[in-house]
Structure 1
Amino acid sequence: MKTNFYNVNAESFYNDTVGVDLSPLYDIFLPLLTPNGHIIDAGCGSGRDSLYFLQQGFDVSAFDASEELVAKASALTGIDVALNTFEHYKAARLADGIWACASLLHVASGLLPAALTNLAENLKPGGYLYCSFKYGNDDVERGGRYFTNADETRLNLFIKDTRLTVVKTWITGDARPDRQDEKWLNAILIKGN
């Protein structure tokens, strides 16, 4: 995952994303979890989602691979956001849910199975993982950022050798007002026993 883009552009990325309303996604994910349970915000970016989960009474751990965004997310949320990657993150305790909103798509497709395997290791059996990808079946680089796109078939390939299975997938438009034509694959995965 290339983090230099996010270090160099942290201020504009933060400003573009911190106010985006993801209530429709929260409304699907949060009811699956134990009230006041532990959520890991994986690739937390601005910290927007971590802050929302904290405000709903959840215990939140968060990490990002960009030093600048870790600092911004820590300041926004008041928690110590860890500087780490999907492949290497280890939680102090297992989570009821993992939230990976528009973050795993920056992991190279060849590394995604390992990243998802590691995330699953941080999840309780029966725990849920939410993830989202730009809808497609290719890898692209745009403006200094790498994107692994996914459709339902490709997502199943990424999780084939993990302990995760698909509970539900659905397509949404981008929540940012200037990008409504972009389509996203959203998925809820569950960790087996």
Structure 2
Amino acid sequence: MSISYYDQHADAFIVGTLDVQMQSLYDKFLPHLAAGSHILDAGCGSGRDSRYFLQQGFEVTALDASWPLVLHARTLTGLPVLHCRFDEFVAEQPLDAIWACASLLHVPQAELPSLMAHLALQLRSGGLFYCSFKYGQGEVSRDGRHFTQLDEAGLTRLLQGLPLQVVESWQTADLRPGRQDERWLNVLLQRQGASHE
């Protein structure tokens, strides 16, 4: 299971991801949000992105399922980062946006539609949902981690019946040094219909 991988390799994961330059992705996401919007960082890892969003004046709620990563993110951000799985999170008030950067790809493909539906229900109507997946088809396991890969056709199938509409999807190279040959599918979605209030 991917959570145990991150529990065991938290330090190496933090070192490998904390200083990755993410500005190109932030620049796709943040212009859609009003000042002070409330963002959920779903699968926050080291807390890198939460820290940036806080620095830009946004309200941030962060969660991760790996306890060592939660502890690091709490120290880095000063936030009371939640230790929970995606399906355990329920927002007290409808969120303006969800940021799920390289996190939902660890959810088994069969569970992904219901999980995306659950997260969408945490958004206000018109709320924004960013997520990213390794580009491809099907599921793979590597070094104790599970990956659900998506291409554009897979994304279309995933969103069938969900209250989420594509704003934009685009491919990028991996932003980590030495990983440029790996491709990612980035997706910006918008919540349709009434919120969960």
On whether the aligned pair clears a TM of 0.5, the verdict is yes
Task: Provide the residue aligned with 1:16 in structure 2.
Answer: 16
Task: Provide the residue aligned with 1:33 in structure 2.
Answer: 33
Identity over the aligned pairs, expressed in percent? 50
Q: TM-score, normalised by structure 1?
A: 0.98
Task: Provide the residue aligned with 1:119 in structure 2.
Answer: 119
Q: Secondary structure at the match of 1:119?
A: helix
Task: Provide the residue aligned with 1:79 in structure 2.
Answer: 79
Task: Provide the residue aligned with 2:189 in structure 1.
Answer: 189
Cα distance in 1, alignment partners of residues 15 and 160 from structure 2: 36
Instruction: Write the letter of the residue equivalent to 2:55.
Output: Q
Cα distance in 2, alignment partners of residues 42 and 153 from structure 1: 24
Q: Secondary structure at the match of 1:93?
A: coil
Task: Provide the residue aligned with 1:69 in structure 2.
Answer: 69
Task: Provide the residue aligned with 1:161 in structure 2.
Answer: 161
Task: Provide the residue aligned with 2:44 in structure 1.
Answer: 44
Deviation string, structure 1 residues 88-133 (Cα, Å, up to 9, x no partner) = 2112221111000000000000010111011101111001100000
Instruction: Write the letter of the residue equivalent to 1:145.
Output: R
C-alpha contact (below 8 Å) 1:6/1:66 kept by paired residues? yes
Task: Provide the residue aligned with 1:139 in structure 2.
Answer: 139
Instruction: Write the letter of the residue equivalent to 1:45.
Output: G
Cα distance in 2, alignment partners of residues 162 and 88 from structure 1: 19
CA RMSD, Structure 1 to Structure 2 (Å): 0.9
Offset of residue 157 of structure 1: 1.5
Where do 4+ consecutive residues of structure 1 move more than 3 Å? none
Per mean C-alpha deviation after superposition, the further-off stretch among 84-93 and 108-117 is: 84-93
Task: Provide the residue aligned with 1:89 in structure 2.
Answer: 89
C-alpha contact (below 8 Å) 1:87/1:118 kept by paired residues? yes
Offset of residue 161 of structure 1: 2.1
Q: Secondary structure at the match of 2:109?
A: coil
Pairs aligned (count): 193
Cα distance in 2, alignment partners of residues 125 and 141 from structure 1: 35
Cα distance in 1, alignment partners of residues 15 and 148 from structure 2: 24
C-alpha contact (below 8 Å) 1:18/1:48 kept by paired residues? yes
Q: Secondary structure at the match of 1:132?
A: strand
Cα distance in 1, alignment partners of residues 164 and 28 from structure 2: 18
Offset of residue 2 of structure 1: 2.8
Query: Any stretches of 5+ residues in structure 2 without a counterpart?
Result: none
Deviation string, structure 1 residues 118-149 (Cα, Å, up to 9, x no partner) = 11011110011000000001100000000000
C-alpha contact (below 8 Å) 1:88/1:118 kept by paired residues? no
Q: TM-score, normalised by structure 2?
A: 0.96
Alignment of 1:51-62 (within 5 A): 51-62=51-62
Task: Provide the residue aligned with 1:108 in structure 2.
Answer: 108
Q: Secondary structure at the match of 1:165?
A: strand
Cα distance in 2, alignment partners of residues 156 and 2 from structure 1: 25
Cα distance in 2, alignment partners of residues 92 and 64 from structure 1: 17
